[in-house]
Structure 1
Amino acid sequence: MNVWRRLSAPRRALALAGAGVLVAGGLVTLPVTVAHAATRCDVTYSTNDWPGGFTANITIHNLGDPINGWTLGWTFPNSSQRVQQGWSAEFSQSGSQVTARNLSYNGSLATGASTSIGFNGAWSGSNPKPTSFTLNGVTCDGSTPPTTPPPTTPPPTDPPDGRVDNPYQGVRGYVNPEWKAKADAEPGGSRVSNNPTAVWLDRIAAIEGTPDSSSNGAMGLRDHLDEALRQGAGYIQFVIYNLPGRDCAALASNGELGPDELPRYKAEYIDPIAAIQGDPKYASLQIINIIEIDSLPNLVTNTSGQPGGTAMCDTVKANGAYVNGVGYALAKLGAIGNVYNYIDAAHHGWIGWDSNFGPTADMLKTAATASGSTVRNVHGFIVNTANYSALREPYVKVTDTVNGQTVRQSKWIDWNQYVDELSFAQAFRQKLVSVGFDAGIGMLIDTSRNGWGGSARPAGPGPTTSVDAYVNGGRIDRRIHAGNWCNQAGAGLGERPRANPEPGIDAYVWVKPPGESDGSSEYIPNDEGKGFDRMCDPTYGGNARNGNNPTGALPNAPISGAWFSAQFQELMRNAYPPL
């Protein structure tokens, strides 16, 4: 379900001393492709060097009028410097002059917005940084003179006012009686069955209820809302999860809609949900929607040219199914005054690298402003949905060194900038604000299965004989590989749902109901469109996305969403904090 992108070898080889940052203006003269009344810009260029090669990360910050289409240019100081493989832009090079042009999804930059691009390069002799850049032919010098006055036409209508800052604070969450009944039927399950969990609307039939389904309960959307009123709940959580071509980089949660069925997604899925959630009867509830997990980050990490890229991800990126579907959902649901939309933002083991971090934030911004939506329809973001990444790693910090070597070069961390979800969520929140989201956005962290307690939980740091021994001995996330996502052996319940646990974090939540399978261990015929993914097969030796490691999946698992008693029992045994 949560698909992780493994970096290519050149990007993992960032070992050495050249990690400097340069903020510069521009000098290169390039053709002006788009005219702007007041183009002003700032460029940050940083590199990680190794003998003969380097990775460059570039952030373009628009300080002038809004831009719709951009071309960045610079000149390499050393004639041997070459761009070899780029991302998030179309790169070309003539001699020492380099041009980077926007892609279809990141060409628009509002005033104050930024976007990140990058490339792998080669050099000989030395690798000095460019000292100047241009944006659409205008020198980037960091100045911010007044921009062109805005038009006098009225601005778009904002969503209804009256939302609270944090919909989780000071109110009781809805307990799904169908999940509670399954948990209560397990030995000791009553210890956790009163925790609020999300209701997954993972196909059109789930709106009305699917009594004959093996993985959905009989209750529909309106039934759950009515029950929330009966319980006196203050908030209720739904997962909006039915995009055309859903789960484009995996198979376990493939959906019912083909990649070209965006009109059906709008008319038969989002519109009915909006009609029910907008019923004045439910105005006293704070309705929280988790928007389309595992979608937008796939457009950054799992398309052609990327490790593990798939044809389906190429299709939904090219036809706009994900971007426009998410934008439409945000616009329709965000128009309801008591609805709070949180977009899925993957997890640290997926987009924690610089090459994924900025481009994913840009992609989220693109979707939030598509199909008539604005960033005002986004109350926040959620990380680690239905995944297992540890909330905190108490004994391994990304800044640690062992015998003079950074732990980032260990096989587990693999040059990632983060080792746990809390540090990632807080940093990604700042990045999202920098690209144009409201400064008040909050983050959610799904802690339903990331406790990693039990006898295998380390009690202190690992040995300092090597970076791998130190990291593997001290990390509490006991997965074989951080790219493993399906029914992980050894996992435990994490922090119980609660509001305001850390700065910038609205809540720890159980969006993935503990005990519901991630996918079947072998192919099981079903009428829900859910396929068989080998990452759920405990006998599978892995693929490029998880470094060709075993999957770590539990055996005898049912299809995604169906009750998995053995997993629920293991989650309780390994709960941390302990039950």
Structure 2
Amino acid sequence: MLPRLSRALVLLLVVVLTTAGLTGTAAAKPKDPRTTQGLFVDPLMPAANQDAVYARSIGRTPQALWIIPEAYPTGQVARVVRAYTSRAVKAKKTPMLTIYGIPDRDCGMYSSGGLPGAKQYKQWIKQIGRGLKAQRALVVLEPDAIPFYGDSRCQNAGGRLGLLRYASRLLSKVGAWVYLDAGHSDWRPYDNRAALLKKAGIAYDRGFSTNVSNFRSTADEKAYAGELLRGLRKLGVKGRHFVIDTSRNGNPNPVNGDVINPTWARLGAKPRLVFQGPFDGTLWVKHPGESDGYANGGPASGQWCDLLADRLLGRAESGSC
């Protein structure tokens, strides 16, 4: 039998060790649910409400909700974003959104539009941030805005990087994983694109996205992302990640220059978050079956078209939209 004093010391030691163990457990950083819970399949997405063949093959796959000011203006956008992300949270899945409203969006091409100026854009982004707060979403920020920077077709490029920086900082601050769009591997030249990403605030973001609404192979996009990561590291921006849009890159031999509803395109690999080094995974950012614009039989940009979905699925074309 231990002396009385020794027993007291033993009990004290047990209490100290137990308390230390509990403290260590409590202090451990919880794992972000985005790394485990999978992506949200929204039953309200357009493809999910088409004929059965499209609902099964496209509509049951996670896709990003596109937030554009023409559909969701400043007075409504916070409520729309919150409703969507809340559906995802309730389903214990990760919501995905694409923010697409920067002034002079798409520089006068098929998806032209956006907010009229910097003040209106910042107000809109602020409301999006309200809807995203603490919702643990993935956000693709302004497809094509950086690759178009300096293009002669753009009328309002002067303050673009500052607006992207504002959005990057605000949306990341409310808890979103923001992927600042970096175009794709065939959008050249891109020698200074890493510097543009830095100026646009990628240091605030999770990383960048590539191949949004385009058709380049996943292998080419990974190589392109590697170049950007090396360029960012040289500029002192380390630890960034990237995602690739694979919604329409299933044909390994894309035809250069034919990118508006191309007849040769096919569905690509389904979305999957893998977290392999800097590669976070694949997403379907562009909605398969929705038009790029008035070319190759397509309707207005963003409109659903059975014919376009048939092409992507390798089916006989329905003959109309």
- TM-score normalised by length of structure 1: 0.46
Q: Aligned equivalents of 1:327 and 1:434: distance in 2? A: 20
Q: How does 1:229-378 map to 2 (within 5 A)?
A: 229-233=89-93, 235-248=94-107, 250-258=108-116, 261-267=117-123, 269-278=124-133, 283=134, 285-300=135-150, 302=151, 309-310=152-153, 313=154, 315-318=155-158, 320=159, 322-336=160-174, 338-351=175-188, 356-368=189-201, 375-378=202-205
Match of 2:242 among 443, 467, 483: 443
Closer, same or farther: CA 330–256 of 1 in aligned 2, 3 Å: closer
Q: Which of 431, 434, 439 is residue 234 of structure 2 equivalent to?
A: 434
Query: Cα gap change, 1:323/1:208 in structure 2, threshold over 3 Å: closer, same or farther?
Result: closer
Deviation, structure 1 residue 198: 0.3
- Contact 2:48–2:60 (CA<8 Å) still a contact in 1? no
Question: Secondary structure at the residue paired with 1:286?
Answer: coil
Tell me, yes or no, if the aligned pair for 1:426 and 1:504 is still in contact at 8 Å.
no
SS in 2 for 1:316: coil
Pairwise CA distance, 1:189: 3.6
1:254-290: CA deviation from partner (whole Å, max 9, x where unpaired): 11423xx1101111x1111111212xxxx3x421111
Q: Structure 1 counterpart of 2:43, which letter?
A: P
Q: Out of 568, 571, 577, which is 2:309 matched to?
A: 568
Describe the SS at the equivalent of 1:443.
strand
Partners of 1:426 and 1:505 within 8 A in 2: no
5 Å-filtered alignment, 1:92-171, equals 168-171=34-37
Quick check: 2:58–2:288 contact (8 Å CA) kept in 1? no
| Aligned partner letter, 1:384 | N
Higher helix fraction (1 or 2): 2
User: Greater strand share, 1 or 2?
Assistant: 1
Structure 1 residue runs of 5 or longer lacking an equivalent are: 1-161, 211-218, 303-308, 369-374, 393-419, 453-475, 522-536, 538-553, 575-579
Runs (4+) of structure 1 exceeding 3 A deviation are 162-165, 180-184, 207-210
8 Å CA contact 2:169, 2:205 repeated in 1: no
CA distance, structure 2, for counterparts of residue 239 and residue 257 of structure 1:
15
Counterpart of 2:112 in 1: which secondary structure? coil
Within the candidate set 62, 83, 86, 1:223 is matched to 83
Partner in structure 2 of residue 155 of structure 1: none
C-alpha offsets along residues 424-444 of structure 1, whole Å, 9 cap, x if unaligned? 122222222222222x21110
Q: Residues 450, 190 of structure 1: CA spacing in aligned structure 2 closer, same or farther, 3 A cutoff?
A: same
Q: Aligned residue for 1:549?
A: none
Amino acid at match of 1:570: R
Shift of 1:241: 0.8
2:260 maps to 1:486: yes
- The number of aligned residues is 285
The 3 A distance-change label for structure 1 pair 333 and 188 is closer
CA 365–188 in structure 1, closer or farther in 2 if over 3 Å, else same: closer
> SS of the residue aligned with 1:178?
coil
Question: Aligned-residue CA RMSD in angstroms?
Answer: 2.5
The answer to whether the 8 A contact 2:38-2:273 is kept is: no
How many angstroms does 1:344 deviate by? 0.2
The offset of 1:173, in angstroms, is: 0.8
Secondary structure of 1:222's partner?
A: helix
Q: Is the 8 A contact 2:214 2:249 kept in 1?
A: yes
* TM-score, with structure 2 as normaliser: 0.81
Structure 2 segments unaligned to the other structure (5+ residues): 1-28, 316-321
* Structure 2 residue identity aligned to 1:477: N
Distance, in Å, in 1 between the alignment partners of 2:303 and 2:44 is: 12
Counterparts of 1:163 and 1:423 in 2: how far apart (Å)?
32
Indicate if the aligned counterparts of 2:48 and 2:54 stay in contact, CA closer than 8 A: no
TM-fit CA distance, 1:358: 2.8
- After superposition, give the CA deviation of every residue in 1:163-209 in whole Å (9 maximum; x if it has no partner): 968x7532121112222654652425413432211000011542689
Is contact 2:217–2:249 with CA below 8 Å preserved after alignment?
yes
Q: Output the CA distance in 2 between the equivalents of 1:425 and 1:567.
A: 29
1:198/1:209 CA distance change after superposition, 3 Å = farther
Matches for 1:46-125 after TM superposition, within 5 Å: none
Q: State the distance in 2 between where 1:326 and 1:225 align.
A: 22
Query: SS state of the match for residue 140, structure 2?
Result: strand
Residue 357 of structure 1 deviates from its aligned partner by: 2.7
Q: Partner amino acid for 2:253?
A: D
